[in-house]
Amino acid sequence: MSINLLEISYLIASLTFIVGLKMLSHPDSARKGNLIAAAGMLIAIVATLTIFQDFDEDKILNYGLIFSGLIVGTVIGTVMAKKVQMTAMPQMVSFFNGMGGACAALIAIIEYQHHQHSTVTGFDGELLVMLLGLLIGSVSFSGSMIAYGKLEGKIKDRVLPMNQAINMIMLGAIVVLIIYQLFAESTPFQFYVLLGLALVYGVLFVMPIGGADMPVVISLLNSFTGMAAAFGGFLYDNKAMLTGGILVGSAGTILTILMCNAMNRSLTNVLLGAFGAGASGPAKGQSGDQTAREISISDTAVLLSYSQNVVIVPGYGLAVAQAQHTCHELEKLLEEKGVEVNYAIHPVAGRMPGHMNVLLAEADVPYERMQEMEEINPRLANADVVVVIGANDVVNPAAKNDPSSPIYGMPILEVDQAKNVIILKRGMSAGYAGIENELFFYPKTRMLFGDAKDTLQKLTMEVKEV
């Protein structure tokens, strides 16, 4: 009877994961979907602790440790989630993803200790699952920690001499070691050598990848963690763990493929080519013109107020300045003056998938105003003004015009087709890919220098007076 109740609980939890993931596809239902999935996870945890085993004298200490861990983890997670700024959300995603990979690796380590006493002969499928869980979980953990450090600005891009060759040799050694343990006697020494190689490989795997590719890396590592969790589900015959891992793994894989398609690059090219990994160079400009033209707050206000169609392109600079609420205030003010305002969203803008969508949703920007790149690009030629706030690489015409550019071939928001372009930036610094933006020097482009939030606040006051 208890086994049936446990299976039913896991089934309910699995259904909540599926429903929650479906609801995450739209901002209006995303918050509720997240809560539903979290409730399903709570059901699975409570059912495992109360139904799977009976309390007895020998297990009181174990349960005390388990509940202590739950309490400590809940407190730490809640505090981190409450205090995190939107600009640091990518780092938190990488950190939590790394913790998931570490848990999967620990499961493999613990189960391997029990497995050493088994008497399985021939091909050992359970050992294969443990080795794969250890490998993928370890790579996800160390890779996510490097991604966290790079997003936090504490780790710079580093490309070792013959980095790709070293990675291929390490990967080959890992494969050989796994095969050897499957068909020969597996020893703890070999198992922990595999652990060490996987951790080092995760570091070398992520270290050379440039900043502009970081959203793809995050989604890929997320899929790794999901796969590792699914292997844990196989080991424990836990349907909830298996379903959750498969959902995370498949969703992360699909998202990685979609983002690669949006960048017009293969996953191999992302991992080996690395946008922004030390790339740098001057912008070509237009006809050799290297003069950036400025515009004042008052002139910008007049231009916006008497436009019919305005498009706002948000970027990471908007997140850093925490200017999304001020931007939304300006948008509403322009709408009151009869100006049509939309937001152009590039799929890899920001530091993680969907970063700009989440940022604008936090400021209560209507979802229908957020236009994806494929939808907004054909309409940019009709825009009276495009306002670029903190974005750089995703609007750089070099991606179309300069075959020597490291971002050549990446689809961009074609803001250079608009009648007027105003770029809000602190200065003339290069983008995250490490190259200058030739759009800055186009005759139709005007630079509005300053902190995004402060500039938007002043611009909003000026628009009120027009």
| Count of Cβ atoms closer than 10 Å to residue 53 Cβ | 12
> How many residues make up the chain in this entry?
466
**Tokens read off for 420:** 């007027």
Q: What is the pLDDT of residue 213?
A: 72
Backbone angles phi, psi at 306, to 5 degrees: -105, 15
Q: What is the pLDDT of residue 2?
A: 58
Q: CB under 8 Å to 45, separation ≥6 — which residues? A: 70
Q: What is the pLDDT of residue 280?
A: 46
Query: Buried b / exposed e across 392-420, counting CB within 10 Å, b at 16+?
Result: bbbbbbbbbebeebbbeebbbbbbbbbeb
Backbone angles phi, psi at 310, to 5 degrees: -120, 135
Q: What is the pLDDT of residue 101?
A: 93
Q: The tokens 């009120």 sit on which residue?
A: 464
Query: Buried b / exposed e across 277-287, counting CB within 10 Å, b at 16+?
Result: bebeeebbbbe
**112-113-116-122 Cα dihedral, nearest 10 degrees:** -10
Cα–Cα distances in angstroms (integers) from residue 158 to residues 72, 162, 209, 212, 276, in the given order = 36, 12, 8, 15, 11
**Tokens read off for 366:** 């209507």
**Tokens read off for 215:** 């959203």
> What's the CA gap between 97 and 117, in Å, rounded?
32
* DSSP category for residue 52: S
299 is catalytic: no
Q: The tokens 């613990």 sit on which residue?
A: 110
* Nearest Cα residue to 136 out of 256, 223, 254: 223
Catalytic-labelled residue, pool 54, 393, 402, 416: 393
Q: What is the pLDDT of residue 301?
A: 94
- pLDDT tens, position by position, for the chain (466 residues)? 556 888 899 999 999 999 999 998 777 788 899 999 999 999 998 888 887 655 444 445 577 788 888 899 999 999 998 888 767 778 888 899 999 999 999 999 998 988 766 665 566 778 999 999 999 999 999 999 998 888 887 887 677 777 778 888 999 999 999 999 888 878 899 999 999 999 999 998 888 876 667 778 888 899 999 999 999 988 888 888 999 999 999 998 988 888 787 777 677 766 665 554 444 444 444 444 577 889 999 999 999 999 999 999 998 888 888 889 999 999 999 999 999 999 999 887 877 777 888 888 888 888 889 998 989 999 999 999 999 998 888 899 988 888 887 777 788 899 999 999 999 988 777 666 667 888 999 999 999 998 889 999 999 999 998 7
Query: Helices (DSSP H) in 184-276: which residue ranges?
Result: 188-206, 214-236, 239-262, 267-273
Q: CB under 8 Å to 434, separation ≥6 — which residues? A: 210, 211, 276, 278, 279, 280, 406
Cα atoms in the 13 Å half-sphere on the side-chain side of 415: 34
Which residues are paired to 352 by β-bridges? none
Strand order in the sheet with 340-345: 370-372, 340-345, 309-314, 385-389, 421-425, 445-449
> What's the CA gap between 200 and 203, in Å, rounded?
5
> What's the CA gap between 408 and 401, in Å, rounded?
8
| Count of Cβ atoms closer than 10 Å to residue 371 Cβ | 17
**Tokens read off for 61:** 């200490």
Q: What is the pLDDT of residue 122?
A: 60
Q: Terminus-to-terminus CA distance in the chain, angstroms?
A: 74
pTM, to two decimals: 0.77
Q: What is the pLDDT of residue 444?
A: 92
Angle at 205 between CA 203 and CA 210, to 5 degrees: 100
> What's the CA gap between 256 and 217, in Å, rounded?
8
CB 353 within 8 A of CB 255: yes
Quote the radius of gyration of the chain (alpha carbons, Å): 25
| Count of Cβ atoms closer than 10 Å to residue 318 Cβ | 30
CB 407 within 8 A of CB 275: yes
CB 10 within 8 A of CB 37: no
Give rounded-to-5 percent helix, strand, coil for the chain. Answer: 65, 10, 25
